[in-house]
């Protein structure tokens, strides 16, 4: 099964982290990504710019509504993601727990809804 | 129904549930589609429950269920074919299984299914109901009435949980050694929850709830037989058997509450107690202690009264010391305080209770106030004892227990 690991972190706290610690965190993410790739679980994964770079877009009638900022104001913000291949939720949870974000913020594990499935399920 | 036909009916029902659970587990182990597996078998299971009590259990119960499932589903499958390709997949598996079942026994996958039902990704409150439904085939209404929630709510929660197994990708497998402990706890906890729901109807007036206690024991036996080297699985079964053995003694002739220490041991079921003792002894040889073994050991210490005529409070206190170290549960702490009162006197017991006074969970917990009232009364503090009894009486749901507490309060000396 394919799973998304959605990484949520407190941006403000991250911005205030000492440089040395940030370096350490980056190295940890690097090692984690490497481990995912070596095991063959890695499908994709990227870091996102902080929400100050976010833009929310919505159509209101015929008018395009463009809002400066993220979709939702939350305590922790979406900061990046991995897409992985895992046999089941247990394996996916194991990978999520290894992700450095699990100790600084929250990793949400979501199964990919494969098209073949949602077409037959309807 | 006379006694013999009632027995035959119970045996047929047990066989039907057993075969049904095995088939659901076998099908679901291959597809993770628990709801689909139940769907395939629902009609056949209903037919078995209706027919087997009259005709007797067929020689190959699982094959019987599958054959009926196939016959009855031809039309239904034709109707649904385009809408539910997944169900069609299940039907094919069922056919394959039916073909090979003529000469082989069906592998028992029920333990794997139980571990999926009690997975940490499943909401803890729905784990026991889910096991009762998937392994034993109880309908949502029966389960709802036992757990005191509305049938609609229960049905919704069960549907959601089953969807979650499939969609989230919860595996049907027995966990590895390293993680077995925590996962097994969840399975045992769910079984114990089922048993406790049934146990909370001591008079046995509500048949549904009393059945739940027997189903809990049945599931406990299943797990103990599939994991015979897990001391806590044996401990839980022993604990439930000790409790069940005392059922006939829990109420007096007029339906009055009889506390454990005052029960007539002649009414206890010696066969169940002996079995529980043997299980506990066997568990002890594994050298790993745990909550259920300790709680069963407390029960064992209470039952020695049937031989010696006295209760071994020193042993009970030691067991509660050990339990409070591993559980930190306020309920354990209360029982420990009661044991301390027996070994070291009411003042020491009360002191152990007062230490708990800050625990907010106890403010609305009847046994805390009853224990407190009992010890205050023994120390002659009538005014505070009466207050504590009032609190306990106000918190109790069971009318028999309420009457018992009211009698205690009325018996306090007047100043």
Burial A89-101 (b: 16+ CB within 10 A, else e): bbbbbebbebbbb
pLDDT score at B411: 93
pLDDT score at B82: 43
Instruction: Specify the CATH number of the domain A2-121.
Output: 3.30.70.1060
> What distance in Å separates the CA atoms of residue B204 and residue B202, rounded to the nearest whole number?
5
Q: What is the mean pLDDT of residues B269-293?
A: 95
Q: What is the mean pLDDT of residues B36-59?
A: 89
Q: What is the mean pLDDT of residues B7-30?
A: 86
Asked if pLDDT for residue B90 goes beyond 50, the answer is yes
Residue B176, min C-alpha distance to chain A (Å): 11
Establish if A1 touches chain B: CB-CB under 8 angstroms: yes
> What distance in Å separates the CA atoms of residue B172 and residue B32, rounded to the nearest whole number?
7
Nearest to B131 by CA among B47, B208, B202, B194: B194
Which chain B residues contact residue A92 at CB under 8 A?
Answer: 169
pLDDT band at B108 (very low <50, low <70, confident <90, very high): confident
Asked if pLDDT for residue B224 goes beyond 60, the answer is yes
pLDDT score at B115: 93
Of A3, A87, A89, the CB nearest to B121: A89
Q: Could you read off the pLDDT of A9-31 as tens digits, one per residue? A: 999 998 899 999 999 999 999 99
Tokens in use for A99? 């992700």
Q: Environment class of residue A7 by beta-carbon count within 10 Å: exposed (0-12), middle (13-18) or buried (19+)?
A: buried
pLDDT score at B31: 79
pLDDT score at B316: 95
pLDDT score at B208: 54
pLDDT score at B248: 87
Q: Could you read off the pLDDT of B202-218 as tens digits, one per residue? A: 555 555 555 778 888 98
- Which residue does chain A place closest to B163, by CA atoms? A121
Contact between B168 and A89 using a beta-carbon 8 Å cutoff: yes
> What distance in Å separates the CA atoms of residue B95 and residue B220, rounded to the nearest whole number?
31
pLDDT band at B83 (very low <50, low <70, confident <90, very high): very low
pLDDT score at B87: 60
Q: What is the mean pLDDT of residues B73-82?
A: 52
Of A90, A93, A120, the CB nearest to B86: A120
pLDDT score at B329: 81
Q: What is the per-residue DSSP string for chain A? A: -EEEEEEEE-HHHHHTS-HHHHHHHHHHHHHHHHHHHHHT-EEEEEE---GGG-EEEEEETTEEEEEES-SS--SSEEEEEEEEE-SSHHHHHHHHHHSTHHHHSEEEEEE---HHHHHHH-
| Percentage of chain A lying above the pLDDT 70 cut | 98
Which chain A residues contact residue B84 at CB under 8 A?
Answer: 120
pLDDT score at B317: 96
Contact between A3 and B84 using a beta-carbon 8 Å cutoff: no
Optimal mutation site among B85, B169, B174, interface A, most CBs of chain A within 10 A: B169
**Chain pair A-B, CB pairs under 8 angstroms:** 26
Asked if pLDDT for residue B196 goes beyond 90, the answer is no
B10 alpha-carbon distance from chain centroid: 19
pLDDT band at A122 (very low <50, low <70, confident <90, very high): low
Asked if pLDDT for residue B286 goes beyond 50, the answer is yes
Residue A110, min C-alpha distance to chain B (Å): 7
Q: Could you read off the pLDDT of B368-402 as tens digits, one per residue? A: 999 999 999 999 999 999 999 999 999 887 888 89
Nearest to B396 by CA among B360, B354, B368, B377: B368
Which chain A residues contact residue B121 at CB under 8 A?
Answer: 89, 93
ipTM for the predicted complex? 0.71
Asked if pLDDT for residue B359 goes beyond 80, the answer is no
pLDDT score at B80: 52
Which chain B residues contact residue A93 at CB under 8 A?
Answer: 121
Q: Could you read off the pLDDT of A47-84 as tens digits, one per residue? A: 999 999 999 999 988 899 999 989 988 899 999 999 99
Residue A22, min C-alpha distance to chain B (Å): 32
User: Domain coordinates of chain B in residue numbers?
Assistant: 1-106, 109-169+180-227, 228-311
> What distance in Å separates the CA atoms of residue B301 and residue B193, rounded to the nearest whole number?
23
Q: What is the mean pLDDT of residues B285-310?
A: 92
Q: What is the mean pLDDT of residues B46-54?
A: 90
Top-confidence residue, B270 or B181: B270
Q: What is the mean pLDDT of chain B?
A: 86
User: Domain coordinates of chain A in residue numbers?
Assistant: 2-121
Q: Could you read off the pLDDT of B323-351 as tens digits, one per residue? A: 999 887 888 999 999 999 999 999 999 99
Establish if A120 touches chain B: CB-CB under 8 angstroms: yes
Rg (Cα) of chain A, in Å, rounded? Answer: 17
Top-confidence residue, B208 or B320: B320
> What distance in Å separates the CA atoms of residue B284 and residue B135, rounded to the nearest whole number?
29
């Amino acid at each position: 099964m394919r799973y998304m690991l959605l990484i949520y972190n407190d941006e403000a706290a991250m911005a205030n982290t000492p440089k040395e610690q940030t370096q350490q965190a980056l190295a940890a993410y690097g090692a984690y990504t490497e481990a995912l790739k070596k095991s063959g679980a890695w499908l994709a994964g990227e870091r996102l710019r902080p929400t100050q770079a976010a833009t929310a877009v919505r159509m209101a009638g015929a008018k395009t509504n463009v809002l400066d900022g993220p979709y939702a104001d939350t305590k922790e913000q979406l900061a990046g993601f991995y897409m992985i291949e895992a046999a089941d939720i247990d394996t996916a949870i194991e990978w999520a727990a290894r992700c450095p974000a699990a100790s600084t913020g929250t990793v949400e594990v979501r199964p990919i809804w494969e098209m073949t499935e949602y077409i037959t399920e309807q | 129904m006379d006694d013999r036909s009632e027995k035959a009916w119970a045996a047929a029902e047990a066989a039907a549930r057993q075969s049904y659970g095995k088939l659901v587990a076998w099908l679901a182990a291959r597809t993770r589609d628990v709801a689909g597996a139940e769907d395939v078998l629902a009609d056949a299971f209903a037919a078995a429950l209706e027919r087997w009590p009259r005709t007797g259990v067929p020689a190959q119960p699982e094959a019987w269920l599958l054959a009926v499932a196939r016959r009855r589903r031809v039309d239904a499958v034709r109707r649904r074919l385009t809408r539910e390709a997944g169900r069609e997949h299940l039907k094919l598996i069922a056919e394959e299984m039916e073909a090979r079942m003529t000469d082989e026994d069906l592998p028992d996958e029920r333990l794997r299914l139980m571990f999926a039902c009690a997975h940490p990704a499943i909401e803890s409150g729905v784990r026991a109901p889910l096991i009762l439904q998937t392994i034993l085939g109880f309908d949502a209404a029966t389960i709802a009435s036992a757990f005191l929630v509305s049938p609609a709510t229960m049905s919704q929660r069960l549907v959601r949980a089953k969807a979650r197994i499939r969609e989230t990708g919860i595996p049907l497998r027995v966990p590895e050694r390293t993680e077995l402990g925590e996962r097994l706890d969840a399975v045992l906890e769910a079984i114990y929850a089922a048993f406790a729901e049934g146990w909370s109807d001591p008079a046995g007036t509500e048949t549904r709830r009393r059945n739940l206690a027997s189903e809990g024991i049945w599931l406990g036996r299943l797990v103990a037989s599939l994991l015979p080297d897990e001391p806590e699985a044996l401990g839980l079964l022993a604990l439930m058997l000790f409790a069940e053995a005392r059922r006939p003694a829990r109420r007096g002739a007029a339906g009055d509450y009889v506390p454990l220490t005052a029960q007539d041991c002649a009414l206890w079921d010696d066969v169940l107690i002996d079995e529980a003792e043997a299980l506990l002894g066997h568990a002890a040889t594994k050298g790993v202690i745990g909550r259920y073994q300790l709680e069963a050991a407390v029960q064992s210490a209470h039952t020695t009264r049937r031989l010696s005529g006295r209760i071994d409070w020193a042993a009970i206190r030691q067991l509660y010391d050990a339990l409070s170290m591993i559980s930190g549960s306020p309920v354990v702490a209360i029982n420990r305080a009661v044991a301390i009162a027996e070994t070291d006197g009411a003042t020491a017991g009360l002191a152990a209770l007062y230490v708990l006074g800050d625990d907010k969970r106890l403010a609305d917990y009847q046994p805390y106030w009853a224990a407190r009232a009992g010890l205050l009364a023994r120390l002659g503090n009538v005014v505070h004892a009466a207050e504590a009894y009032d609190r306990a009486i106000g918190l109790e749901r069971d009318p028999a227990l309420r009457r018992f507490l009211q009698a205690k309060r009325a018996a306090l000396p007047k100043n």
